[in-house]
Structure formats: C-alpha cells, structure tokens
Amino acid sequence: MKSKTLFPRTLFDGTVHFEIPRYQRPYVWDEENQWEPLWNDIEQLAGIVLESEEDELEVGHFLGAIVLKAKPARTGDVTRFEVVDGQQRLTTLQLVLNAACQVLEADDRFLDEADAIRELTTNKRRSFQGTDEQFKLSPSRGDREAFKNMLQGGQEPKFEDHRISQAAQFFKQKIANWLFSSEDEGLVTAKVKALVDVIETRLIIVSIDLDGSDDDQLIFETLNDRGTPLLKADLVKNHIFYRGEVLRADTEKWADNYWMLFEDEWWREEIRQGRLMRPRIDAFLNYWLVMRTCSEVATRDLFSAFRNYAEQAMSTIEGAEDLLAEMTGDAILYQKLVNSESSSLESRFYQLVIESFDLTTFMPIILRLSSPSYKVPQSQIVIAYQAIESWVIRRTLLRGSTKDVNRMVIALLKELSTVSGNAAGDAVVSYLSQQTSDVRSWPTDEELLRNAPDLRVYGQIKQSRLRVIFEGVEKQLRSERHENVSLPQDLQIEHIMPQKWHQHWANEPSIKAMDDTDVDRVVDLLGNLTLTTGKLNGSLSNRPWTDAATAENSPGGQMPGQGKRSLIGQYSLLALNKEIVDRHQDSWTIDDIRQRTQRILELVCKAWPRPATGRLEEM
C-alpha cells in the first residue's frame, strides 16, 4: 500500500480509466452538503489566484482521499484502476471538469482552454471511441448512462432528473455566472485562467494505491463501516457483489434480478424508526435480519450482522442466489405494505398496528408470517394478525407499557421458528396467551371490563388510535343487513357531553351531584366519545343535547334550535351514533356515559377477541 499526493492534471493524465465497481452505491452527493461547499471553495481559491501577483502561489484545496487498485495491464489498452473508495469525489471532480469544459467550449475565445480540460475527462485515441474506455471514469452501474450523456453534451431528456445531471447543471451554472459576471474582456480572460489553474492543479487528492497483497474489500469495509454517510445497505451491496466476483457468478444477472429494486431513490428516503431517522433500505434490512436471525440487530451492527448471517449461503452461487431471491421477495412485500398498494390482510395490519399504533417493532413479524419463503397458509396468517391486533388494542385501552415489545417480538420469532407454517397462527395465539408479566400480558375480557371503565382515555390515548378502536366497534355493530360501505377518511373523535360542559350542561342533574374535577374526568371516558366528520364536529361544539335545551340556552348561532342529538341523527349514518340517538332521546347523563363505556368495551371484546385458555377454538 502506497500513498501519493495528486492533482486533477496528474491524476487523469494519459490514457487512464478509473472503474467504479457496479456493486458500489450510486452517486448520492447533493447541492446542500457537497456541491455548494465545493464550489464555494473553488470560487474562493480562484479569487485568490486571480488577485495574486505571485508567480509561485502555494495555495490549494484538499478534496480528500481515494483508494485505488491497479488492474492487470494489457497491450494497447488504457491503464486501468478499480476505485475501492472515493467514487463520490472522483465522480464530482469529473463533473466539475466537464462543466468547465462545456462552458468554455461555448465561447470561441477559450477553445484551447476547453481542449486542455477535455484531456482530463476523455481518452482521445480513436480505438476508444464509442466504448467505456473513451472516458476517464466509468461510474457504477446505475449512473453510467447518465454520466456518458453528460460528457457528451447532456441532450437526453430522460436523464434530466438524474442526480448526475443535476450536479452537472449546478456546476455549469455556477462556473458561467462567475466567469461572465463582468463585461470586461480582460477580467473574463483572467478569471478563465484562474479557474483552469485551480481545477487542474490546486485541488489536492491523496491517492492510496493498493498492491496485490492488500485486501481491498476489508479496506473498503474498514473505511466505511464507522461514522460516515455511507449507508449500511451500501456495505451490504458491496459485500454481496464482492462475493459474487469471488464465486465467478454472473453478477450482471444479480444486479438485474436481485438488486435493481433497491436502486430506486424510494429506498434512500429517510423514515422514522423509533426515535431515529434512517434510510428506508437500512430499516428494511434491519427488520429482515431480525426476522431471519431471531435476535436484536443494532443499527451500528447491521452490516456485520448481514455478513455473519449470509456467510454460509454466500459460499456457493446457488446458495447466494436463493438468499438474494428471498430477500428481494420480502423487499417487494415491504414496499407494497408501506405504499398501501393493496387491501390485503397484511396492509390492514400494517396500517393498524405499525402506523396507527407506531409499533414498527412488529415489522419482522409481518415479514415472517407473510414472506413467500415461509409459505404460511392465509388462514394461519389471519389467526396471527387477529391475535396481535387484539393484544395491541386491549393493552392500549389499559395503557399497558410497550417498553418490552422488542424482546417479546424476538421471543415470538423464536417460537415461530420452531413450528411449521401450518401452525404459525396457533403458535402466536398460544404464546401471547401464556404471557403473565405486566409488560407482556394479553388482557382477558374480565380484566378489560373490570379495569378499563374508569380510565380516562381522551388525552391519554392518541386520537388516531381511538379512531381505530371506534372504527372497529362500528364494524362490530353493523349486521349483515347493513350496506358494506367504507368509513369516511376524515372521521374525528367527538365528545358527546362537551369538555366545556359548564356553558350549557351545568344544570344537568347528574352533573350537579358531582365535583367539577370528577365531571371533567368522566367526560373523557370511552363512553362519552364517538366518531363524526370534521364539519359535523365543528357544528356540534358545546351545544346542549336536546332541541328544547338548545332553544332555551343557545337560541342563536349556527343551526339554531337544534340540539346535539338532532344534528347527530340528521347527519351521521354510523351505527355507532344511531345507537346513541335511539337510546337517549331526552338526556345524556353521567350514568349514560358509564353504561356506554361498558357497552363499548363489550363490543371491543367481540371485535378483538382473546381466547380464555389459549386454545384457538375458543376464539
């Protein structure tokens, strides 16, 4: 291993060709974090050169290090180097050089300067024309065509939104604006000279050259597995294709069949996972490895966890391709779930448990049950999801802790690994039923009906979660005689007896007999809540229950003379609200709230059942 200090003029001199392996990550540098700071440094340096009167000015800008490995020489060929590390820097440097060249080529005064820069981006030998070797740099597979298009003038519209194209356009605009900000021809010429000087000879690169005894894969992993912006998924990808080359596999086929899916920018979008923001592909790989290994995988250990898990499979071509096919199949499932591309059981479970209750910890369970690899029958998937939903809903109503969910999911995965797919759902029911600790237990009907009625839920449970519960109750109330219609998307939680009850409800006899603080607590019980549309919610506000009370206490305003009961009966089609209106014509009291709380909880028990003994047939 040797190192040397180079500049663009010395790095790209001669017929050289730098190859970025197809398995490395795509070009990911952006304007805010890399392009703008780099241009500011170039502009500042060019300004210093422009204003200096010294012939031997010793200033420069350190771009960073690259790691190269020379490839075997062939007569008449370019001198080839594999880029082990530093592909983002090299790609950006080539884009800067090409941008300057194209700006200067557009002005007949500076064609000589443009030709000098073009020598640093292309190999002019006739035999190289039309081949990858025509260019000094060959980017990773997903960027190659966009990069060629840029160096050839950038005429293809299909590459307009590619990050390579965006970077090229950024640097062209910055260079043109700086060079031609003045109409003084002498100043423009001096600026061109200063800029060419900077981008050819004042951008400093340390090149680390590996020899045959150096393990380039180990060096790549060591450089990138700690504290750098490189995604853990990029390390995984690099390892997969490195193993493919060692095995002499058809890595082009691997790229097309197994990794192409992950090249989409969707996978690099950051999402919240717990308290942290992470790229979606890293989150997926974390879920996938937890599911596969039945153990917790820390973010910092994701790459090493994959390497250890895949070691045996990646020792043969057949084993590697089987593993990659399974991972890709699970990634497709994950993408469909996140994008809500279907009305499947998995999508419903994802939206209810993962999204509404913010329990991403259960994602490995979805993958384990619904993965094509495990062939769990649909009937068993239904049983498992119903059980987990019931566990979540019941514990939510009792305000049970979720601090142990991570470990419980690992234990459940281990349990699933011991049974066949035909018994997966039964195993989930059995496991959850046997949990007795406060942080894992699955509340029984008796526990729910005994402990939940007096718990204040509004303000303690997120409204989005209360909505899920009331939607489940609504579906439970609908008989087969009801139309099979979807619930509106804009339903909101509404208090029947308003939180500001003092204004129009203070004379209700059941309220007069209680302290204000006790009334405030009862108002937030489950039985005093319902679902309405947003517009109806605003109209109901704090008005009294009956028309007569409204006419007496609140005669004016919107919809005068109509009480809350009349408006709910007139505008709501929900069975949930029809039951309230039909059963409570004259009043809505504290006792009514308590009784309806019990009624709602009984319906919850039916909507999300739990076996009394852990035996499936009793559900």
| pLDDT reported for residue 178 | 95
In the predicted model, is pLDDT for residue 59 greater than 90? no
Give me the residue label for tokens 């709380």.
597
| pLDDT reported for residue 509 | 84
**Average pLDDT value for residue range 109-122:** 95
Domain-wise residue ranges, the chain = 2-224, 231-339, 342-443, 455-606
**Average pLDDT value for residue range 270-280:** 83
What does pLDDT average to over the chain? Answer: 88
Q: Phi and psi at residue 368, in whole multiples of 5°? A: -65, -40
- Mind listing the pLDDT tens digit for each residue in 176-215? 999 998 889 999 999 999 999 999 999 999 888 876 655 5
First to last CA, the chain: 67
| pLDDT reported for residue 226 | 41
| CA dist., res. 530 & res. 462, Å (int) | 14
Beta bridge partners of 278: 271
Contact (Cβ atoms closer than 8 angstroms) between residue 285 and residue 275: no
- Mind listing the pLDDT tens digit for each residue in 329-386? 999 999 998 887 667 888 888 888 888 999 999 999 999 999 999 999 999 999 999 9
Q: Phi and psi at residue 402, in whole multiples of 5°? A: -115, 15
What tokens does 577 get? 């609200």
What tokens does 480 get? 């087969």
Pick from 18-32, 90-104, 106-120, 469-483: least confident: 469-483
- Mind listing the pLDDT tens digit for each residue in 290-300? 999 999 999 88
Give me the residue label for tokens 């018994």.
423
Helix axes 280-293, 317-338, angle to 10 degrees: 120
- Mind listing the pLDDT tens digit for each residue in 155-175? 778 888 899 999 999 999 999
Burial profile 369-396: b = 16 or more Cβ within 10 angstroms, e = fewer: bbbebbebeeebbebbbbbbbbbbbbbb
SS3 488: coil
What tokens does 542 get? 């704090």
Q: Phi and psi at residue 182, in whole multiples of 5°? A: -125, 150
Pick from 25-34, 361-370, 386-395, 475-484: least confident: 475-484
Q: Between these two residues, 578 and 214, which has the higher pLDDT value?
A: 578
Element (H, E) at 115: helix 111-118
SS3 377: coil
| CA dist., res. 563 & res. 546, Å (int) | 4
Among 88, 91, 76, residue whose Cα is nearest residue 131: 76
Pick from 8-22, 79-93, 220-234, 573-587: least confident: 220-234
SS3 296: coil
| pLDDT reported for residue 383 | 95
| pLDDT reported for residue 217 | 58
Element (H, E) at 245: helix 232-246
Q: Phi and psi at residue 85, in whole multiples of 5°? A: -155, 145
Q: CA torsion sign, 215 to 218 to 222 to 224?
A: positive
DSSP string for 538-580: HHHTT--SSHHHHHHH--SSSSTT--HHHHHHHH---HHHHHH
Report if pTM > 0.75. no
SS3 265: helix
What tokens does 6 get? 């180079």
| pLDDT reported for residue 556 | 55
* CA torsion, ordered 341, 345, 349, 352, to nearest 10 deg: 70
CB within 8 Å of 72: residues ≥ 6 apart:
80
Q: What single DSSP character describes residue 213?
A: T
Dump strand ranges (E) for 239-299.
270-273, 276-279
CB within 8 Å of 443: residues ≥ 6 apart:
394, 395, 398, 400, 451, 610
- Mind listing the pLDDT tens digit for each residue in 296-339? 999 889 999 999 999 999 999 999 999 999 999 999 999 998 88
Pick from 9-18, 101-110, 560-569: least confident: 560-569
Name the burial class of residue 586, with classes exposed (0-12), middle (13-18) and buried (19+) by CB atoms within 10 angstroms of its CB. exposed
**Whole-number Cα distances in Å, 531 to 9, 467, 479, 573:** 70, 7, 19, 11
Contact (Cβ atoms closer than 8 angstroms) between residue 493 and residue 470: yes
Q: Between these two residues, 15 and 3, which has the higher pLDDT value?
A: 15
| CA dist., res. 329 & res. 615, Å (int) | 33
SS3 3: strand
DSSP string for 595-618: HHHHHHHHHHHHHS---SSS-GGG
| CA dist., res. 150 & res. 152, Å (int) | 5
In the predicted model, is pLDDT for residue 539 greater than 90? no
Contact (Cβ atoms closer than 8 angstroms) between residue 100 and residue 196: yes
DSSP string for 508-537: -HHHHTS-HHHHHHHHTSGGGEEEEEHHHH
**Average pLDDT value for residue range 31-55:** 90
Q: What Rg do the C-alpha atoms of the chain give, in angstroms?
A: 33
Confidence label for 474 from pLDDT (cuts 50, 70 and 90):
very high
Confidence label for 228 from pLDDT (cuts 50, 70 and 90):
very low
Confidence label for 225 from pLDDT (cuts 50, 70 and 90):
very low
| CA dist., res. 539 & res. 541, Å (int) | 6
SS3 127: helix
* CA torsion, ordered 447, 452, 454, 459, to nearest 10 deg: 160
Dump strand ranges (E) for 57-126.
61-70, 79-85
